[in-house]
Structure formats: C-alpha cells, structure tokens
Amino acid sequence: MRKSQYSMEFLIFFAILSIVFFVWLLIYSNLSNQAFLERDRRAINDLGKAIQTHIFAAANAEEGYFSENLDIPYKAGSVDYEIKMQSLEEGSYVFVLVTERNDYVFHIPYTLGRIKKGDNKLYSMCGVVAANSQPLSDGKCSDVWLPNCSNFIDDDGDNLIDIMDGGCWQDYDNPHYDPMKNNETAGTPVDPHVYNYYYLCLTAHNNGFCSNINIINSFIPGTIDCNANTKQGFC
C-alpha cells in the first residue's frame, strides 16, 4: 500500500514539476524573442538615425559640401532591409528602411538622387542635398529646386523613376492617390509632362552638351530640341 502511495506521490510531483518547467520555458522563450526583436528594432532605428544625421549635416553645410563618409551596411545587425525614398507631399521627403516585420520612416531635407547600401557620396548646393550625383545648377539656386516627378525620386510610388515615368504627373495631381499605399490607377497613360522635358533640357544645358539630349531622351517617346526649348524658356 505504501509503495503504491509513494509511486502516486512521485507521479503527482513529477507532473507538477513538468508543468512548472513548461510554463517557465514558455516565459523564457517569449522574453528571449522580445529581446531579439528589440535588438533588431534598435539596430534598424540606429542605422536610420545615422543616415538621417549625415543628410541633415550635408543640408546644413557650407556651399559646395562633399562627403564620402556615408557607408551604409548591407545588414543592420542581423536584419535584412531595403531602402526606399519618397516625397510624401511638396517639401516633405523621407527615406524608408523596409524590413520583413516593419517599415521605419525617417524625414529628411529635400534630396536629389538615391541613397544605397555601401558607399555613398553626398553633395550640397543651395541647401539641397544630392546623393551619389552632383546637383545641377548654373549658379542660380532656383535651378536646383526641380519640380516633383522630375527629380529622380519615385514620387508616385509605382517603382518607376519619375523622369522615365510618364504617368507620374497624373498620379501626383490625383487627390485620391496615396504614394505610401501605391494605389495607382491601372493603365496610367505614358504621356511625359513638360517638366520632364525641362529637366532633361536643364541637364544637358548645364553640362554643355545640348546636342546629346537625345541620348538621355531615348527613355521617353518623342524627341527634344534643346536649343528650341531654350528659346521657349524651358532651359
């Protein structure tokens, strides 16, 4: 009788001990997972703030600022991510670090070009930052402030660089279009806006090779006579 009682007590004790261990294991696993997620979140957030600091420093630097110090790692700690740049509205620019779990948005000054993983070059002219390409200007600061849909940023969020995206202006002028949701109307017609021509012409004009405009223009239907556009006030 006593042996069976001892056996029963042992089984009960073992069952209780197993339950306690299982509960502890669940709590430990959850805490460990939260710790890893917090570590990854901090790594991405620290990376974004570092990039943001570099861009703000360039925007506030003296005229002609140039830096090669922005080296963006291919992973933030152990986290894979992508970099996207967007203009949310006129005068509001952001870059987004996209991970499997979350998108991290960082506001930056008006920035031409795109930042990328690896080495980046930052230029500053008239308070405008250019990433990996020099700002275009013939000495007038107003020439640097290129209109939306002509600034090498995917303003309408459809994964096409705007200078080659004829539908950008239709989407940008549509009050129901949301770049962050990318709710572009299907079948947006390819009809380049005159500001795209203006930008192409300005590019050639400021670099002294107007005759080569058709090389750049090969991405867009039609041709541009840069000299004629100059007379019309486009350059």
pLDDT given at position 44: 93
pLDDT given at position 65: 83
pLDDT given at position 161: 47
Close Cβ partners of 120 (under 8 Å, ≥ 6 residues apart): 68, 70, 71, 72, 131, 132
Measured CA angle at 63 (ends 57, 67), to 5 deg: 50
Asked if 156 and 149 touch (Cβ cutoff 8 Å), the reply is: yes
In angstroms, the CA 177 to CA 154 distance is: 14
pLDDT tens digits for 127-161?
678 888 655 544 444 444 344 444 455 544 555 54
pLDDT given at position 97: 93
List residues bridging with 103 in a β-sheet.
98
pLDDT given at position 49: 93
pLDDT given at position 46: 93
Amino acid at 101: R
In angstroms, the CA 163 to CA 202 distance is: 13
Nearest CA to 79 among 113, 131, 42? 42
pLDDT given at position 134: 59
pLDDT given at position 85: 84
pTM of the model: 0.51
How far is CA 135 from each of CA 51, 79, 114, 190, 209, rounded to the nearest angstrom?
19, 33, 12, 27, 17
Q: What is the DSSP string of 116-144?
A: -SEEEEEEEETTEEEESSPPP-SS-GGGT
Close Cβ partners of 83 (under 8 Å, ≥ 6 residues apart): 72, 95, 96, 97, 98, 114, 115, 116, 117
Question: Number of H helices and number of E strands within the chain?
Answer: 5, 7
Q: Which residues of the chain have pLDDT under 50?
A: 137-151, 155-156, 161-166, 169, 172, 179-235
Asked if 141 and 73 touch (Cβ cutoff 8 Å), the reply is: no
In angstroms, the CA 16 to CA 165 distance is: 67
